[in-house]
C-alpha cells in the first residue's frame, strides 16, 4: 500500500473504465490543474465526445505507437492546426498576388501547362 503521499485517484476519462492513477503527493486540485504526470503544464483542459468506432481507432493508433489516446488526439489537433494555418497563408498569398496584379490570364495558364506537356481539353 502506498504511503500517504501517494494517493490513488481515478483519472479523467479512464475513470469510466475503473483505471486508477497515482497523484504522487499532489492534491486533487493540483492533479486537475493542468499539470500532467511529467510536470508539463497543460493549462486549458477540454473535453470531447467521440463515437465508439472513433475511440477504437484512436486506441489502435495509441497502442501501435506506444502512446496514449490523449497524446494521439493532441497530435492530430496540432497537425490539423498546422495544415489550416498553412492553407490560410497560401490563400492570403494568392489574394495579395491578385491585389498586386501578379496574375496570369486563363489563356496564358493553359499555354504554360501545354508547354509542360500537360494535355488539356
- The whole-number pLDDT of residue 34 equals 62
DSSP state of 10: E
Q: What is the pLDDT of residues 7-20, one digit of tens each?
A: 444 444 444 444 43
How many angstroms separate the CA atoms of 10 and 94, rounded? 51
Q: What is the pLDDT of residues 30-71, one digit of tens each?
A: 445 566 666 667 678 889 999 999 999 999 999 999 999 999
Model pLDDT for residues 78-117, shown as the tens digit of each residue:
999 999 999 999 999 999 999 999 999 999 999 999 999 9
Amino acid at each position: 500500500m502506498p504511503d500517504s503521499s501517494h494517493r490513488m485517484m481515478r483519472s479523467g476519462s479512464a475513470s469510466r473504465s475503473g483505471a486508477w492513477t497515482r497523484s504522487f503527493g499532489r492534491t486533487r486540485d493540483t492533479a486537475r490543474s493542468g499539470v500532467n504526470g511529467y510536470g508539463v503544464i497543460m493549462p486549458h483542459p477540454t473535453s470531447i465526445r467521440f463515437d465508439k468506432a472513433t475511440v477504437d481507432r484512436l486506441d489502435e493508433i495509441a497502442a501501435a505507437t506506444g502512446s496514449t489516446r490523449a497524446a494521439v488526439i493532441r497530435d492530430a489537433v496540432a497537425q490539423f492546426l498546422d495544415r489550416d494555418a498553412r492553407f490560410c497563408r497560401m490563400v492570403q498569398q494568392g489574394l495579395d498576388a491578385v491585389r498586386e496584379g501578379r496574375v496570369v490570364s486563363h489563356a496564358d495558364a493553359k499555354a504554360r501547362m501545354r508547354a509542360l506537356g500537360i494535355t488539356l481539353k
